């Protein structure tokens, strides 16, 4: 760990209390993107996909040797802290940090550049109280508060399922939430910012979801290339005409537009007009 890493580690140690109720911290371990697999196996890929810098795992022991893990991830940016939080948003929503959910003994929340996971190996009313108490203390100690990544605000809000929004960078995470293709046909990487919005446009078919994928590339040239590649592989019909909407095999509409360094793709819209409306509102949010 370099000197900046050591300084960050010291900051992180101060963010987690040493004791809470009858529980006391018994062990600290730090992990970086190279060593995280020693701790959480393949799940480490999720945090690596969001460019995490350092993880402090503090283990607490309580009555009857019960264990609670506090995993404090320093993500390096608020955007990535928010992003990794959106990876799993299921659970009871709670007002901790800048967004929190609780389920099955696990509290997850984000605040500033930190993503925090607090997990009780045995879930009961008492451990839940301790987990939430730890969360509140840690959230209060993190002074930084940040706004959401700008690309999130481009998502048209009408009919948007707000608790299902995902923010990410690479195509493996895209496929995790909404499979597009095995190959990285949209040329996503750690330099791209992407957002997935799920919409319930059809009031009669409540299970039907329309998906809006928005991507910001570091430069216009990359966006153009990705646009061409997507059409080549996914919408080959479009090559022969100007219209970039296609009614696909399931009877729903898919379309793609590009504007400068932005690409927006709609999947499974109930009509061509609905698809066009989502694309237009994403690419021209103020019009």
What residue ranges bind other proteins (CB under 8 A)?
37, 40-47, 69, 71, 88, 90, 103-106, 108, 117, 119, 121-123, 172, 175-177, 179-183, 185, 232-237, 248-251, 267
Q: Which is nearer to other proteins, 101 or 279 (CB)?
A: 101
What's the closest the beta carbon of residue 43 comes to other proteins, in angstroms? 4
Contact call for residues 268 and 209 (beta carbons, < 8 A): yes
Angle subtended at Cα 12 by Cα 126 and Cα 114, rounded to the nearest 5 degrees: 80
What's the closest the beta carbon of residue 232 comes to other proteins, in angstroms? 6
3-class secondary structure, 33: coil
Q: Which is nearer to other proteins, 40 or 61 (CB)?
A: 40
What's the closest the beta carbon of residue 281 comes to other proteins, in angstroms? 24
Q: How far apart are CA 33 and CA 10, in angstroms?
A: 18
Q: Which is nearer to other proteins, 128 or 259 (CB)?
A: 128
Q: Which is nearer to other proteins, 47 or 257 (CB)?
A: 47
Q: How far apart are CA 148 and CA 190, in angstroms?
A: 18
Q: How far apart are CA 259 and CA 76, in angstroms?
A: 29
What's the closest the beta carbon of residue 248 comes to other proteins, in angstroms? 6
Enclosing H/E stretch for 161 = none
What's the closest the beta carbon of residue 231 comes to other proteins, in angstroms? 10
Tokens, residue 263: 């690409």
What's the closest the beta carbon of residue 3 comes to other proteins, in angstroms? 27
Enclosing H/E stretch for 178 = none
Q: Which is nearer to other proteins, 141 or 177 (CB)?
A: 177
Q: Which is nearer to other proteins, 6 or 232 (CB)?
A: 232
H-type alpha helices, the chain: 3-15, 36-40, 44-49, 78-86, 125-141, 171-177, 220-233, 272-283
CA dihedral 116, 112, 190, 155 (to 10 degrees): 110
């Amino acid at each position: 760990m370099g000197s900046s890493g050591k300084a960050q580690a010291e900051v992180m140690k101060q963010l987690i209390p040493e004791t809470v109720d009858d529980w006391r911290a018994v062990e600290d371990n730090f992990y970086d993107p190279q060593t995280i697999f020693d701790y959480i196996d393949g799940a480490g890929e999720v945090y690596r996909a969001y460019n995490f810098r350092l993880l402090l795992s503090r283990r607490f022991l309580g009555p009857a040797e019960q264990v609670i893990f506090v995993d404090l991830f320093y993500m390096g940016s608020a955007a990535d802290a928010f992003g990794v939080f959106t990876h799993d948003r299921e659970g009871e929503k709670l007002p901790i940090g800048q967004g929190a959910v609780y389920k099955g003994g696990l509290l997850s929340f984000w605040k500033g550049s930190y993503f925090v996971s607090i997990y009780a190996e045995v879930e009961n009313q008492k451990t839940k109280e301790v987990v939430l108490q730890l969360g509140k203390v840690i959230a209060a100690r993190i002074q930084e508060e940040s706004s959401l990544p700008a690309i999130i605000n481009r998502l048209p809000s009408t009919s948007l399922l707000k608790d299902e929004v995902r923010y990410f960078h690479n195509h493996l995470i895209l496929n995790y939430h909404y499979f597009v293709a095995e190959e990285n046909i949209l040329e996503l990487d750690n330099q791209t910012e992407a957002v997935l919005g799920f919409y319930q446009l059809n009031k009669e078919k409540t299970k039907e979801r329309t998906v809006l994928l928005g991507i910001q590339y570091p430069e216009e040239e990359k966006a153009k290339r990705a646009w061409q590649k997507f059409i080549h592989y996914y919408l080959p019909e479009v090559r022969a005409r100007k219209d970039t909407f296609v009614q696909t095999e399931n009877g729903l509409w898919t379309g793609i537009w590009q504007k400068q360094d932005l690409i927006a793709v709609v999947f499974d819209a109930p009509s061509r007009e609905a698809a066009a409306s989502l694309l237009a509102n994403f690419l021209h949010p103020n019009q």
